[in-house]
């Protein structure tokens, strides 16, 4: 008779606690929320615009949820230089959207 010891599945890390962040443009015409794990780091871009303005980037894996009537249709894309990244700005004031 052989002695067998049951093996257990590898332990998985618990899912991170999600937090809801609220964001808007400067004038409030665009308002949204995004739910994701607590923000602990951001990306720093070295283009002239981001350096001058001190912008930090976050690329959420989930989408933004816009308030009714204050959504993505109120945003305009702004591209410059190499047109590598489209900055999203308020269609009214041209200020960037931020959390």
Which carries the bigger pLDDT value, residue 82 or residue 41?
Answer: 41
User: What would the two tokens of residue 1 be?
Assistant: 């008779």
**Structural domain boundaries of the chain?**
18-90
pLDDT tens digits, 8-50: 666 787 888 889 988 888 888 888 888 888 888 888 888 887 8
- Domain 18-90 belongs in CATH node 2.60.200.20: no
Q: H/E/C letters for each residue in 8-68?
A: CCCCCCCCCCEEEEEEECCCCCCEEEEEEECCCCCECCCCHHHHHHCCCECCCCCCCEEEC
Percent of the chain with pLDDT over 70: 87
pLDDT of residue 37: 87
Does residue 1 have a pLDDT over 60? no
pTM of the model: 0.65
């Amino acid at each position: 008779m052989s002695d067998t010891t049951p093996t257990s599945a590898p332990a998985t890390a618990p899912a991170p606690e999600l937090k809801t962040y609220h964001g808007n443009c400067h004038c409030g015409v665009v308002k949204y929320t995004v739910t994701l794990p607590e923000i602990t780091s951001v990306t720093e871009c070295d283009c002239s615009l981001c350096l001058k303005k001190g912008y930090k980037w976050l690329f959420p894996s989930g989408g933004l949820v816009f308030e009714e009537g204050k959504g993505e249709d109120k945003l305009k894309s702004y591209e410059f230089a190499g047109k590598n990244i489209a900055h999203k700005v308020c269609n009214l004031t041209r200020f960037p959207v931020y959390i």
